[in-house]
Amino acid sequence: MGRSPGPGDGSQCRHRCQFSSKTGDRGHAGCGRCSQRGNTTESTAEDWRKMLDLNVVALCLCTREAVASMQEHGTDDGHIIHMNSISGHLVYPFLRNHLYSITKHMVTAHTEAVRQALRKGNTNIKISAISPGMVATDFGFRSGMRKEESEKMIQERACLQPEDVTESVIHILSRPPHVQIHDLIMRPTKEKH
């Protein structure tokens, strides 16, 4: 990966999931289709690779490049936000989701590791994570559900709205320089798990 363009231009690291429609598609928090055999005792090596490449390796490389770009451009007050998941803090009792949860726990650990590295580097760059519960997106459809099935699941379950997550990003970015929100866990009020 090359260096990102300069700070403030809204650029992001690009990773193309083979199941996304285009490069930089950010419509999902990982690749659910990779988790069809998310049971850790039945997953193939390819299942593991796909899930780790997207949810862990791509995130780690983009984070590394973002920090390097900020440092190269003299940006000492930048902010990195990892889009994690509630699954990075607990393991739901659904076997097909375990592999996904393992990778999201890695995101939780990586966020803390980067925070420690930034502090040791005596920089003011911040890192945060947002860990939402279920959000009303097309994630179910992208993970192989029929569109009607996915829409029914969203209607029947308590879900956060995409705007809820957006407002959390704005809240994190609007904190004063001496405040770093490290991990914002958010769930629908009526979530059952």
Active site residues: 100
User: How far is it, in rounded angstroms, from Cα 143 to Cα 29?
Assistant: 11
Q: Is the pLDDT of residue 117 over 80?
A: yes
Is the whole-model pTM more than 0.85? no
C-alpha separations of 11 from 14, 51, 118 in Å: 9, 24, 21
Looking at the DSSP bridge assignments, the partners of residue 135 are: 160
For 64, residues 6+ apart whose C-beta sits below 8 A from its C-beta are none
The CB density around residue 45, as the number of other CB atoms within 10 Å, is 7
Asked whether residue 31 carries a pLDDT value surpassing 70, the answer given is no
Q: Residue 155: which pLDDT band, with cuts at 50, 70 and 90?
A: confident
99, 103, 160, 163, 189 from 133: Cα distances, Å: 17, 15, 7, 14, 10
In a domain, 21, yes or no: no
pLDDT greater than 60 at residue 113 = yes
| Dihedral angle over CA of 141, 146, 151, 153, nearest 10 | -90
Rounded CA separation 174/193 (Å): 31
Domain-located, residue 101: yes
What's the CATH number where 115 sits?
3.40.50.720
**Is 77 part of any domain?**
yes
- How confident is the model over 80-98, as a mean pLDDT? 90
Query: In total, how many domains does the chain have?
Result: 1
Q: Is residue 74 assigned to a domain?
A: yes
Domain membership flag for residue 57:
yes
Domain with 160 in it: 32-186
Q: Domain for residue 3, yes or no? A: no
- pLDDT mean over 164-174: 96
pLDDT value for 9: 35
Is 73 inside any structural domain?
yes
- 62 occurs within a structural domain: yes
